[in-house]
Amino acid sequence: MKKLSKSGAKEKIDEFFERERFKPEEAKKIKRLGMKFKIKLGDKKKRFCKKCFSDLRDGKVRIDKGYKIVECKCGYKNKWRLR
């Protein structure tokens, strides 16, 4: 594999999140890539499940006490504080 620069990695990450759909393995790779280059995914992290990396587009969304809770098909409840 070609060695990736930080800007190359960032580009790859941006491209990934512009896509409509993705596979859990791909999300996992992107997260690892971000960690390797210390690139913060920020709000983009909310696109996939913290536990199984599935697309959360299909998740059940609930708002509770200032939190947004998205339940993944794996059963894990992803929680984010609303700003």
Other C-beta atoms lying within 10 Å of the C-beta of residue 49: 22
Q: Which listed residue (13, 22, 33, 54) binds Zn ion by CB under 5 A?
A: 54
- Supply the minimum distance, in Å, between the C-beta of residue 24 and Zn ion: 8
Nearer to Zn ion, 27 or 72 (CB): 72
Q: Which residue of 30, 33, 49, 70 would you call a contact of Zn ion, by CB under 5 A?
A: 49
Question: Residue 82, Cβ neighbours under 10 Å: how many?
Answer: 9
Q: What number of chain residues touch Zn ion (CB under 5 A)?
A: 7
d(CA 66, CA 79): 10
**Residue from 52, 68, 69, 77 in contact with Zn ion (CB under 5 A):** 52
Cα–Cα distance list, 30 to 11, 26, 40, 63, 65 (Å): 11, 6, 11, 27, 31
Binding site for Zn ion (CB under 5 A): 49, 51-52, 54, 72, 74, 76
